[in-house]
Amino acid sequence: MPELMIEGRAVTVAEGTSVLAALQNAGYRTLRHSRSGEPRGALCGMGSCHECRAVVDGRIVRTCVTPARNGQRVTLLTGDHAD
């Protein structure tokens, strides 16, 4: 079972879990904020809307289409990189 770090906290998920599901299991529904300050989270859940972006191992990805892997470091988008 993969163990990943979400915002510095170790989280274990079932094999085959997406990073989005791992985030949501860990209690993150709001993943980032829009430029005007609106909360944003997963909308389509299938890679089309790009709303669920977060940083995984230094890269901005769509978390819904990113499988959770052992040792991943996941952080939320903040400041200039959020949009």
**Residues 49, 53: Cα–Cα separation, whole Å:** 10
Stated as kind and residue range, the H or E segment containing 9 is: strand 9-12
One of 50, 69, 73, 78 touching other proteins (CB under 8 A): 50
**Residues 72, 37: Cα–Cα separation, whole Å:** 28
Q: Does 35 participate in binding other proteins (rule CB under 8 A)?
A: yes
Nearest CB to other proteins, comparing residues 9 and 35:
35
In the complex, minimum distance from the CB of residue 74 to other proteins, in angstroms, rounded to a whole number: 17
Q: Does 38 participate in binding other proteins (rule CB under 8 A)?
A: no
Q: Does 60 participate in binding other proteins (rule CB under 8 A)?
A: yes
In the complex, minimum distance from the CB of residue 10 to other proteins, in angstroms, rounded to a whole number: 27
Residue 60 · residue 53 · CB < 8 Å: yes
In terms of Cα–Cα distance, which of 45, 42, 61 is closest to 53?
61
Residues binding other proteins (CB under 8 A): 35, 50, 53, 60, 80-83
